[in-house]
Every structure is written in structure tokens, then in C-alpha cells.
Amino acid sequence: MKSDSVKKGMQQAPHRSLFNALGMTEEEMERPLVGIVSSYNEIVPGHMNLDKIVDAVKIGVAMAGGTPVMVPAIAVCDGIAMGHIGMKYSLVTRDLVADSTECLAKAHAFDALVMVPNCDKNVPGLLMAAARINVPTVFVSGGPMLAGRVQGHKTSLSSMFEAVGSYTAGTMSEEEVKEYENKACPTCGSCSGMYTANSMNCLTEVLGMGLKGNGTIPAVYSERLKLAKHAGMAVMDMYRKNICPKDIMTEKAFQNALTMDMALGCSTNSMLHLPAIAYEAGVDLNVDIANEISAKTPNLCHLAPAGPTYIEDLNEAGGIYAVMKEISKLGLLNLDCMTVTGKTVGENIVDCVNKDPEVIRPVENPYSATGGIAVLKGNLAPDSAVVKRSAVAPEMLQHEGPARVFDCEEDAIDAIKGGKIVAGDVIVIRYEGPKGGPGMREMLNPTSAIAGMGLGSSVALITDGRFSGASRGASIGHACPEAAVGGPIALVEEGDIISIDIDNCRLDVKVSDEEMAARKAKWQPRTPEVTTGYLARYAAMAAPACKGAILKI
């Protein structure tokens, strides 16, 4: 046992005295020491139930012969952080979570780990840590929120943000907004659509790092407590069989994750997180292969914000395994990949069925023949940009319009709400990338304002920042190179015609190479707004979005 280095022998007598101070018995010290990494806190709705999940995991670990010990991880609520300086601190916590978890696990010689995350950045952060530490590890999330209900219709956080836009446009009263406010988020859990948190919890299941139901069993269901107990038991089985994260998170497993990303229509943030996790697992995952995978992977699900169904509906339809079973009919999954169950992907899904062909379309009747995400390239984004194609109105898959240029999110929101954006415009928000933000803020406020004001099928938005999974419309993010390093997005001028061709994966500004070169010669880097603290360190070390915005060593 790794933990013998802190429990066995005369030299470890001082260590044992500290375990005694914890109230740990000799019998407990004889067992494998299992770290339960919990991001429980009282500010994130997706995390307020994690104490109960942890208690259930502890029972499972103890039942299977381990000694569970809870240690903390941080988490930021993206919804509360949205639209102000707080959003600069969202993506950057992914690396803080990975680093601090590595420190805790290595310093205390844990034999195995159970990760208990739920929201946007601490799921990938803990997956990154799992790959680094590489001891037997199982994930069990806190689960998704139930959808809200307003006037007989299911709703969610994205509807809440769009309601504010509708109020600004004069199409919704303050009383109606208040009703959304009180009913859109009715329970604890990660917000109820296929937003980033649920995308990553579902993809954790696909990667093989979580048990069946990890991504879809609602937070308030007792079934989630049973899942947590089984996760505790499963990690002890992995310990005995010496199955570790790098045995599971292989190149083939990441190919499965990208394939299912396309089938499910996940958040574009997955295009940041999957490469970052793969990097820690020693796998080179180039986002360029996303289009190759998308070209042969049908989009089977239109969960909110792309459509009217929610994670609870996906759960009732059979969950992630049912979608995997559909996709496997086309021979698109690597079925021999190992998982935390001790079985292969193929063995896990063999008996699964699609219980609702309206929620999970059969492969014979997909929403589209190609996947939910597209990677665009062109003279405006030579390295890449990303769009959630499944959430784009058909009429916006190809679009040309004049650039409306803003150097920060706040200025763009003021213009949208001030009625200065009209049908046909292409909003450009720059200097919001990993280095330029710093922190690569999500742009849910502007996209929601556009949708709420009825411009979702006529206005596009391009940024070197990123989007919430709750965003919909022609919202193109992760433009690389970013403005802060002199990428082409920094050279766009008001009124330039921008051409978007999502079907052909193109993103161009109709300006000659000579003119762009002349603009580049005159361009000067902006003085950083943040020069101290963690954000300054992140800005100095952050890799481009197309490389996962990881911290470069």
C-alpha cells in the first residue's frame, strides 16, 4: 500500500500519532487509505448536496474494506460569477483544483481516490488530477438539477438569462421575469440542460471514469446516494485489481469522448477540457480531429439549450449508456476500452436500450448527420475557433455581415441592450482570451441578450473568450490566436465583412492579406489590466485555447 509510507514502521510512529489524533483506529490504519475529494460548499447550488454524496461514498468504501478520508476541493458557480470580474476566476480554478488535489493526495499517500465534483471546472480539474496521481480512482458527481416549470413548460438557467433580454426588449414584464427567477432553478444540482457541468459529468461516464448514471441521475433522487455507495465499492475493487486512470483514459477513450460529445451536443467548453485532461494522461488530443469525428457522427440529442429536453429526460430515456449503444451501431466507439466497472465499454452497454426515441434519436433518424460541435478555421482564426453547431439556427449556419467590434464583454452588452445591434451584424468581442481576459470569460450574458431580444436567428457573435453551455445561436468562441498575442481577431475593424460558413468549417474576414499585414504592423499589445495575484500568473503561463488553455510548465 502507498499509505504504508505514512503508517508502517518505527520511523512512522510520529505519523501514526497524528492518525491517532484524528481518532483513527489501528484497524482503520491496516486498511487502504482512500481520499474522498469533495468540492462541497454552500455557495454553489450544484455542490450543496455533496456532503450527503460523500457520506454515501464513505459507507461504500468502508463496506468494501477501505478507510475513507474526506479532503476538500474548491468550486466556482459560473452562474453567480457570470457577467462581472468573477468570471475571470472560473476557468482558472480548473488548474487550482488539479494542483491542490495532487498536493493533498501525494502528501498524504492515498492508496485510492473517489472524486466528488459537480460543476463546470472542478470536474475537468479533478480528471486532470486523477491522471497525474494515477492511483485507482472513481468519479461520482452530485448530479443534475431538475428542470424548472414556468406556465406549464420546462425551463432552466438559460431561460432565466434570456428572460432578462426579453425584459430589456419590452416583450416580458417584471412580474414574468420574477416568476422565472423563482422557478427556473428548483432544486440543488448542476443546472438542468446540457451545459458544461453536465457535459463533463456525462463525458466522465463515457471516458470510463464514472459509473452508469454519473452524468444523468438527478441530484435529488435517492438513486444518486446508491450510486455513491457503489462508487465507494467500485474504487476498492479497482484497488484490488490495480486499475488506474491511465489504464482507462487512453487515446481510444478520448476518441470515444469526442464521438459522444458530437452525439450529445455538449458544451463547447469540452473542446477546452478534453485536450487538457488528455495532456495530463499523456495523450495528444488535437481539436482538429473533432471535425473528422463530427463528419461521421450523427447528433442524436437536442437537450437544452439546443432543444426542449433536459438531463432528467435523458436519464429516463436510458442515460449515456443508451446513447453509446445507439452510436455503437455505426461502429464508431472503441468497445474494448477499460472502465471503472472493471469491464470494457462494450460489456457495460451490451444490455442497454433506448427507452425514448424522441429524447435519444435512433441513428436512423438523427437531428443531423453530423455532430453537435464544429471547429472552424480561416483567416480570422488560423489555428481554430469552436461553435456548438447543434444550437445554431439553420439560417445562421452560413452568414455574412458587418463586424461590430468591442474590446470587452461589458461594452458589447451595453450596445446590445442599447439597441445598437441590428439583424445581420456580427459582434466581435476580443481581448477576452486566456491571456487577454485574463481567464477566458464565458459570454452567456451577451448571447442571452441577443436571444432574448429576438436576434438569435440573425446576429452572430465571435470571441476569443468562450461560451457557457447555456449559450445558443451562432456563438463562435475560442478564436485562436487570441487578440492579446496579436491574433487576427485583434485586427478586425468596425464594418469589416465577416463570413461564417459552419457547414464548411470556415471563419473569415473579407480583408486582403496585404491589409491585414499592414494592420498587424501597426498593432501594439495592450497593457495588462491585471498585474498581481493568481490571474497575473495564469495570464503569464496560459497556453492557447486550442491547446486546452492549460498552464505551460
Q: Quick one: CA torsion of 409, 456, 489, 379, rounded to 10 degrees?
A: 170
User: Cα separation of 110 and 130, whole Å?
Assistant: 12
CA 490 to each of CA 281, 305, 431: distance values in angstroms, whole numbers, following the listed order: 34, 30, 8
Pick the catalytic residue from 294, 458, 468, 471.
468
C-alpha dist (Å) from residue 358 to 20, 81, 85, 472, 546? 56, 34, 40, 21, 34
**3-class DSSP assignment, residue 509:** strand
Instruction: Quote the CA–CA distance of 452 and 224 in Å, as a whole number.
Output: 35
CA distances for 195 relative to 63, 85, 148, 388, 500, angstroms: 35, 21, 15, 11, 24
CA 178, 182, 184, 185 torsion-angle sign: positive
Strand pairing report for 497-501 and 506-509: antiparallel
Strand 426-429 vs strand 460-463: parallel, antiparallel, or unpaired? parallel
Q: Which of 291, 250, 313, 228 is nearest to 55 (CA)?
A: 228
Question: Is 381 strand, coil or helix?
Answer: strand
Active site residue 468: yes
Peptide bond into 305 cis (omega under 30): yes
Angle between helices 157-168 and 444-452 (to 10 degrees): 60
Query: Which of 249, 258, 259 is CA-nearest to residue 328?
Result: 259
Instruction: Confirm if 292 and 262 have CB atoms less than 8 A apart.
Output: no
DSSP helix, strand, coil percent of the chain (3-state; round to 5): 40, 15, 40
CA dihedral of 498, 500, 501, 506, whole degrees rounded to 10: 80
Q: Label each residue of 132-155 as H, E or C.
A: HHCCCEEECCCCECCCEEECCEEE
Those residues whose C-beta lies under 8 Å from the C-beta of residue 383, and which sit 6 or more positions away, are 377, 480, 481, 544, 546
> How far are the Cα atoms of 391, 506, 510 from residue 379, in angstroms, in the given order?
24, 9, 9
Q: Is there a contact between 260 and 324 (Cβ–Cβ < 8 Å)?
A: yes
Give the residue from 208, 69, 178, 47 showing the smallest Cα distance to 118. 47
Residue 262 identity (one-letter amino acid): M
Q: Dihedrals φ, ψ of 33, to 5°? A: -95, 115
Residues 6 or more apart from 145 whose CB is under 8 A from it? Answer: 45, 46, 156, 185, 186, 187, 188, 189, 190, 191, 192, 218, 219
Site of grid cell 452497454? 349
Cα gap 159→163, rounded to integer Å? 6
Active site residues: 468
